[in-house]
Structure 1
């Protein structure tokens, strides 16, 4: 995998604010390059220096093997959750996930400018898709 792609993914992930989340495919779409699997590979090999817990499967499931650490971070940050996360914290049992619809990061115009600069270094520009309620749709 090209190091410029790795660096672009990590730089974009660093922009995601507390309490927000995106799917792997959202990162690829914002960069205009790669796909969910490529972003997942970058995150699994290089993501420890950025807020890795804010990038998840489209289902809202935390990165496999990191559920306990991730849920603690989600709670501290106020990330919207679904399911029996209180049971999971207490007993290690129960299913939960991030409410990706409620938590999905909607970059501001300024953030889109930074994303475009990151994507531009890859030779692409990010797609800015406007929705009536100013939420990012991918």
Structure 2
């Protein structure tokens, strides 16, 4: 399961984000399991590209530099999901 989730996260292109639910649907698991895996193993992948469904992140302060570098539109800790959501 961990490999499936991290492998799916690796597919998100630079400049795009996906929600925990998006990743869960592709990896055939639940969003809470994705969250658990990302909390333990997210450092192995592009963790800043996985956000909550509303575009927020628990670690937006750390993610913001990555979002800026990739041109991911965000404001006040919230990614613009309409503009930046990965449509796999």
Query: Shorter chain as normaliser: what TM range?
Result: over 0.9
- RMSD of equivalent CA atoms: 1.1
**What is the aligned length?**
88
Return structure 1 stretches of 4+ with deviation > 2 angstroms.
none
Match in the other structure for 1:68 = 61
Deviation at 1:96, TM superposition (A): 3.1
Q: Which residue of structure 1 aligns with residue 41 of structure 2?
A: 46
Match of 1:115 in 2: none
TM-score by length of 2: 0.92
Post-superposition offset of 1:106: 1.7
Offset, 1:70: 0.3
What is the CA–CA distance in structure 2 between the aligned matches of 1:105 and 1:98, rounded to whole Å?
12
2:80 match: 99
| Structure 2: gaps of 5 or more residues | none
In structure 1, stretches of 5+ residues that fail to align are 84-94, 108-138
- Quote the offset at 1:71 in angstroms: 0.3
Residue 23 of structure 1 deviates from its aligned partner by 0.3
Contact 2:64 2:77 in 1 (8 A): no
Match of 2:26 among 19, 25, 30: 30
* Structure 1 position 8 matched with structure 2 position 4: yes
Counterpart of 1:117? none
8 Å contact 2:61–2:77 — kept in the other structure?
Answer: no
Larger Rg: 1
Give 1:41 shift. Answer: 0.5
Residue 79 of structure 1 corresponds to 72
CA distance in 2, matches of 1:7, 1:100: 25
